[in-house]
Amino acid sequence: MKRGKFIVFEGIDGSGKTTHAALLKKRLEEMGERVFMTAEPSEGEAGKLLRRCLKREIELSEEAIAGLFMTDRLDHIKNPTDGILSHLEKGETVLCDRYYFSSFAYNGSYAPLDWVKAINALPRALLRPDLTLFMDIPPESFLSRIEKRSEKERYEKLEVLKRVRENYFAAFEAFPDEKVTVIDNTAPLDLAAENVYLAVKPLFEAR
Ligand code: TYD
């Protein structure tokens, strides 16, 4: 049995990762591929704890949060019942909404970036994506979704998203051996979906 392909979607908040992952799943299934969709934070125990942190129900240090994202990732990769590797080994294509580049882009702003990179060498040694798709939108376009917030909050959110987007591009440069394709997601939905498909197609032709 040939191992399946591991494809990751990345992007700032509201960049359309989830929509495009679902569209790609449908298209690959029409080609006869078996596809498993997943996301980080995962549905596992560490992922549940992370969601509580993100909702501010519990408070952890930024280092502990970055460490927990890494721990969640290790479990997401290796969990014996539903881990990514178990699906890849069955020949399934795995589409994952966020992976270690999210840690570099988000957590690297709050905990030291070199340290975030160092701890993520563990999951990176276990499983690298066959392709990372970065769904690119201008941070300003996210703001229309939060019109009701105050000017101050909108400004702060914009500054954060700009920094996250810059961090992504810096991380792509810092890891030139990673396969990354940037998709312009300001394009109409059909066109962006076609560009996603064209980017992943060579992975399936080689088999
Ligand atoms: P997600 O559920 O993808 O939110 P959205 O669909 O709104 O993009 O991600 C939740 C948050 O977790 C998001 O703000 C990014 C953050 N995150 C990290 O800070 N580090 C990580 O390693 C991952 C995977 C996510």
- Residue 30 belongs to some domain of the structure: yes
Mean per-residue pLDDT, 45-66: 95
Name the nearest CA neighbour of 64 among 90, 46, 39, 40: 46
Query: Quick check: CB of 101 below 6 Å from ligand 1?
Result: no
Q: What is the pLDDT of residues 104-140, one digit of tens each?
A: 999 998 889 999 999 999 999 999 999 999 999 999 8
Look at residue 178 in the predicted model and tell me its pLDDT: 98
Strands 35-39 and 180-184: unpaired
Q: Given pLDDT bands bounded at 50, 70 and 90, which one contains residue 206?
A: low
In a domain, 194, yes or no: yes
- Using a 6 Å cutoff on CB, does residue 54 contact ligand 1? yes
Mutate to test the pocket of ligand 1, among 98, 116, 157 (most ligand atoms within 8 A of CB): 98
Assess if residue 125 is contained within a domain: yes
- What pLDDT score does 207 carry? 57
- Is residue 94's pLDDT more than 60? yes
What are the residues whose beta carbons fall under 8 Å from the beta carbon of 130, sequence distance 6 or more? 5, 6, 7, 179, 203
- The span from the first CA to the last CA of the chain, in angstroms, equals 11
Copy the structure tokens of residue 185: 């997601």
- Domain-located, residue 17: yes
State the CATH number of the domain containing residue 32. 3.40.50.300
Q: Which residues span the domain enclosing 164? A: 6-39+91-205
| Residue 77 in domain | no
Q: Three-state SS for 137?
A: coil
- Number of domains, the chain: 1
* pLDDT tens-digit series, residues 179-204: 999 999 999 999 999 999 999 999 99
Q: How far is 142 from 15, CA to CA, in rounded Å?
A: 8
| pLDDT value at residue 157 | 86
Which residues share a beta bridge with 135?
183
* pLDDT number for residue 50: 96
For residue 87, pLDDT beyond 90: yes
Which tens digits make up the pLDDT trace of 132-169? 999 999 998 877 766 667 777 778 889 999 999 999 99
Contacts of 68 (CB under 8 A, 6+ apart): 46, 49, 50, 53, 60
61 lies in some domain: no
Confidence of residue 1 (pLDDT cuts 50, 70, 90): confident
Cα 157 from Cα 85, distance rounded (Å): 35
Percentage helix, strand, coil, to 5, in the chain?
55, 15, 30
H or E segment and range at residue 59: none
Is the whole-model pTM more than 0.75?
yes
Instruction: Pick from 9, 51, 106 the residue to mutate for probing ligand 1's pocket: most ligand atoms within 8 Å of its CB.
Output: 106
Asked whether residue 60 is domain-assigned, the answer is no
Residue 189 lies in a domain: yes
Within 13 Å, how many C-alpha atoms sit on residue 117's CB side?
A: 12
pLDDT-based confidence at 95, cuts 50/70/90?
very high
Please give the DSSP secondary-structure letter assigned to residue 1. -
pLDDT at 142: 79
The rounded distance, in Å, linking the Cα atoms of 172 and 61 is 26
Q: Encoding tokens for residue 131?
A: 């392709």
Mean pLDDT of the chain: 94
Residue 44, pLDDT above cutoff 90: yes
**Which residue lies with its CA nearest to atom 5 of ligand 1?**
13
